[in-house]
Structure 1
Amino acid sequence: MQAAIAFAYEQRLVEAERLADVAVKLAWRRHSHVAVDAEILSTVLRLDTSNDLANYRAVTAYIGSQNADLKSHLSVTLTFLDRIWLSNRPPELRELKATGILLEQLTRFRQSDWALVLALVKDQAPPNLRRYIDQWVGGHFLGRHKLPEAERQASGVSHGQRCRTGSATQAQTAFLIDPHKGEERSETW
């Protein structure tokens, strides 16, 4: 069903809101595969009026699954976070909350390398997001001492290979992930 709506969206037959609505409904039904990209995340966040961002949280459950392709998930995460943190205005409270939720989802199965994952995000993030991540790590009692070492590792990794290449193809790659089974496959639209 989501593939058909995605095709209709590409053909400009349906709006982004409809595509996001389908993703939310599939996520709430714990569908085995839900396509998630920065556009869907942005639209779901914009439309989610709940205090706890329940719909946004349901959709972001498809980011950071157990067997996630880290490069793909980082690409989607960074593209989405850029929309919030590179804005000409400070992030709103709900955007700060959405950022925290996304970081939780991205790292929830990464007990041994959570610091490296966050360091990779920080390496490509604007200064205000870097500060937010530092505060988020402290607020989640994750051990701030691990992050600087991971940042040194990430700096060496990411200078050779960026998670985001800026190519149109990569920006349009969606992730079909079952966060409950840990399976994943990717598709380019």
Structure 2
Amino acid sequence: MSIDPSSIPNFGGQPEPQPQGPGGPVLPDQDLVKQLLEQMELKYVIDEEGDLAAPWEQFRTYFMFRGEDEHAVFSVRTFYDRPHQIEDKAQLLESVDDWNRRTLWPKVYTHTHDDGTVRLIGEAQMLIGTGVDLNHFVSSTVSWVRAAIEFDKWLVEQLGLEQEADGAEKPQDGEADSGE
């Protein structure tokens, strides 16, 4: 299966009209996601566990396939690398709750590490076991990546955090890990 480049929503402004896809559902796989990331001009790596990841300055977005048969799930999970202090967790939870009420994705939650730092994780999932429409898969994946970037910008604004110039805009070179 192949992705028609004109079917990829553009990152700049209004979504472009989506052409009709192939007749029938497809079973997405890692190769399809790689092709999509290449067409979006996003760099990616494969981690030690075989998961596909697109690294940015302040976060890493993973594209994972889990489960089998009709229970198979495609998950786009973003690990935000900016550490927060445990004392700031209440304010962080308020912000995350506000985001989760206002948006469909990614749903964001906190993870407290053994050293007491708090980091955020965003996630969106799609059941793919019985197949999905190619256009739906492409537009959802692109939307989830855009939303992961927007969440980082939004959080910086909400909490008054400093952000490196273009930090959330461009993928960076380098290795990625699962962050768990």
TM-score by length of 2: 0.25
Q: Hey, which of these two has a bigger chunk of helix by percent?
A: 1
Computing the radius of gyration from Cα coordinates, the structure with the larger value is 2
TM-score by length of 1: 0.25
Q: Hey, which of these two has a bigger chunk of strand by percent?
A: 2
